[in-house]
Amino acid sequence: MRLQIAYIAAAALGRVSSFTPSTAARQTMLRSASSSTSSLGMSSSSEDTITLGIFGGGTVGGGIVEILSNKADYFKQLTGKSIEVKKVCVRDASKPRDFTLPEGCSIVTSYDDILNDDSIDVAVEVMGGTTDAKDVVVGALSNGKSVVTANKALIAKDLPEIETLLSTLDSATQFRYEAAVCGGIPIIRSMQSDFVGDNIQLMCGIINGCTNFMLTAMDRDKKSYDEALSEASELGYAEADPTLDVGGFDARSKLKILMRLAYGMNVEEDEISCRGITELTKIDFEYAKMLGGTIKLLGVAEKNDAGEVSAYVAPCYVTNEDALSSVNGATNAIEVLSDNLVSSIYIGQGAGRYPTANSCINDIVALAKGDQTPLPFNPSSDTKFVNNYESVFYLRLSYRDQVGITRQVGEVCEKHGVSIHSLLQNPVAKNQESAFAIMTDKVDYAAILKVMADIEALSWCKGKPFYMPVLRDDWQV
C-alpha cells in the first residue's frame, strides 16, 4: 500500500548522471581518520545536537516532525543529543500543514537549501518517486550527510548504484531505510542483525496493504474486485492509479530488497515473476473455501536443494491453518523460515503516517546514538537466481459446455508432465460464470505456463485460464 505523500519540487537540482564521484570530489568526501570516529557525516552543528533536513512535508514527513516533538526529552536521554528539524523542503510553501513546525524550523522549496547547508547532519527523504528523490539521496550522501529514506522504489531500482556510491564514502556517512519495506514492521534491521548466523531457506509474506485489504473484502465480505477496489480507494489505501499495488509491482520492489538482505543477490526486478490480483474472481474464493483456505497476494523467495533461489509475487492459495491466512485488512506479515530460528513471523502495519514515520524515527535515533552499519544491504554473494520454481498449482478454467472437456485437459496436462490431483466444480448458478478448478500435484512453474497456453487455444476455453501457486506442500486439510 502506497501513500499520497506531498512531493517536493521547485528549484530543481541538476541531474546526477552517475553515482561515482570524480577523484577531486572523492577526496573532498573522505574525512580524516579522526573525523571518521564521529557518528555522523560532516557538519558544523554542535556535538550535542543532530540536525535534520526533511524532504517532503506530507503524510510521513508530518508524522516524523510530530513524533520528534512529542518525545524530544526522551530521545535526548536515550541518545545524549538533541534531535532538531532545521528545514522541511516542500513543493508549495503556502500550503497549510497538518503539523506544527518546531521552533527554529523553516519551510523551504529548494533542494539546495538542505543539500548545501553544512549545519544539517541527516537528510530524511520521504518525498517518493525515483527521479528527484535520487538526486536528493545522491546529493546528500555526496555532501557527507547521512540519509534516512522510506523509498523502496528508488532502492529497488538503483540498489547497486547506491551501494557503489556508499563504498566511496567515509563510514560515518550512513544510509538507513527501515521504512522502505513494510512500513512499521522492523524487518530491515532484523535482516541486518538477527539472521547473520543463520541460513534463510524461505521468505514469504503479505507485503502490500492495499491488495490485502481488497482480498479480505472479496473473501470475507463477498465483494467483487471492482467493489473492493472502490472501497480501498475511498479509504485511501489505493491511489488514483492503483497499478503498482494491484499489479503486484510494489510488492516485487520490496521482495527484491529482502532478497538482497537474505541471500546477498542483486536481481533485476523484471526477472522476478510478478502477477497481481486483477484476474481474481468471486469463484476463486468459493473454490478456496471448498478447499479449506483463502487467497493472499504474497511475495515469496525460496532456496532450493542446489542452493539456488527462486522468487515470485502472485496470488497464492493458503489454508485456514496457515498463520498468513488470518492476516486481514491493510496489515502486512512476513514469515522467515531458517535453519536456526526455524520460523519467525513479523506482523504489523505496512504503511500509514505513524507506522512509516516510526521506522524513520528509529533510523534517526540510531544515527544519533552513533550506530553504524558498514554494509546496509549485507554482503553480496554469488547465489544463483532461477526464474522457475516448484509448487502445487490451482487452475481455474472457464468453458463453453461441450463433450470431452475433461479428457482434453487431461491430455494437455499429460503432454507437459503435469499430474492432476483433483478436479473441483460447483453447480453453475444463474448468471454465474461456468468454470471448474483443478489442483495439480507439485510441478514446475514452467510446465504450468505451457499447460495454460495450450488450454487457452482450445475451442471450449473462454478467456485466459487463471492459475496460482499453493504456498505449502502440506495444503490438504
Which residue numbers are catalytic?
Answer: 254
The answer to whether 310 and 388 are in contact (CB under 8 A) is: yes
**Alpha-carbon gap, residue 16 to 42, rounded angstroms:** 21
Residue reference for cell 512509516: 356
DSSP string, 423-437: EE-----TT---EEE
Phi, psi of 184 (to 5 degrees): -85, -5
Q: From residue 111, give the alpha-carbon distance in Å to each of 1, 50, 53, 372.
A: 27, 19, 10, 26
Listed residue (381, 377, 19, 366) closest to 181, CA to CA = 377
Number of H helices, E strands in the chain: 15, 18
- Beta-strand pair 122-125/146-149: parallel
Q: Tell me which long-range contacts 270-275 makes (C-beta under 8 A, separation of at least 24).
A: 271/385, 271/387, 272/311, 272/312, 272/313, 272/387, 273/311, 273/312, 273/313, 273/314, 273/387, 273/445, 274/247, 274/248, 274/249, 274/312, 274/313, 274/314, 275/248, 275/312, 275/313, 275/314, 275/315, 275/468
Cα 467 from chain centroid (whole Å): 23
Cell matching residue 87: 528545514
